[in-house]
Amino acid sequence: MKNILVLCTGNSCRSQIAEGYLRHFAGNKARIYSAGIETHGVNPKAIQVMAEDGIDISKHTSNNVDEYMDVTFDYVITVCDNAKENCPYFPTNAQRFHYNFPDPAKAIGSVDEVMDEFIRVRDMIKDYSRDFINKHLD
């Protein structure tokens, strides 16, 4: 079974969404972890937009990458430039992947405009996650 780490700045939005979708698409083919360089708590809007797509991330926790230093990862996916630049060295042969998704937590505008941005980013991460699993685990 493969171990996959999704890494972001605060482990609150993008990495949480990716963890949810990667788990969904991988099934029992991989163990999925997410973490941040910092921990900001799971964003309630991320929980909401995932629930709207049938995925429950309400029990996820915001974890610091240091908590997983003893896990041997096969893949490390950074989902923002800050995490890529500050990702700690893992003493493994983990393959690294990077995609700089926009941060929906920084969206401005009306409540509907902010939620539209969360949905847009969620859908981008969903497509990326599906493609990742199809390419690397199937």
Residue 115 domain-assigned (yes or no): yes
Most confident of 6-15, 30-39, 71-80, 118-127: 118-127
Domain that holds residue 90: 2-133
Strand pairing partners for 30? 2
* This prediction's pTM: 0.92
Q: Which residues are catalytic?
A: 8, 80, 87
In a domain, 28, yes or no: yes
**C-alpha distance from residue 61 to each of 4, 16, 134 (Å):** 16, 9, 26
CATH code where residue 70 lies:
3.40.50.2300
State the Cα–Cα distance between residues 62 and 12, nearest whole angstrom. Answer: 6
* 133 Cα distance to chain centroid: 13
Residue bearing the bigger pLDDT, 121 or 89: 121
pLDDT in tens, 120-136: 999 999 999 999 999 99
pLDDT tens-digit readout, 17-53: 999 999 999 999 999 999 998 888 999 999 999 999 9
Query: Strands (DSSP E) along 9-136, which ranges?
Result: 30-36, 75-78, 95-98
Residue 31 lies in a domain: yes
Euclidean distance between CA atoms 107 and 126, whole angstroms: 19
- Asked if the structure places residue 18 within a domain, the reply is yes
Mean pLDDT of 77-100: 76
11 phi-psi bin (left φ>0, alpha ψ -120 to 50, beta other):
left
Q: Does residue 83 have a pLDDT over 70?
A: no
Please report whether residue 17 resides in a domain. yes
In a domain, 21, yes or no: yes
pLDDT value at 85 more than 90: no
- The total of structural domains in the chain comes to 1
Query: What whole-number distance in Å separates Cα of residue 51 and Cα of residue 59?
Result: 12
86 has a pLDDT exceeding 80? no
Assigned domain for 138 exists: no
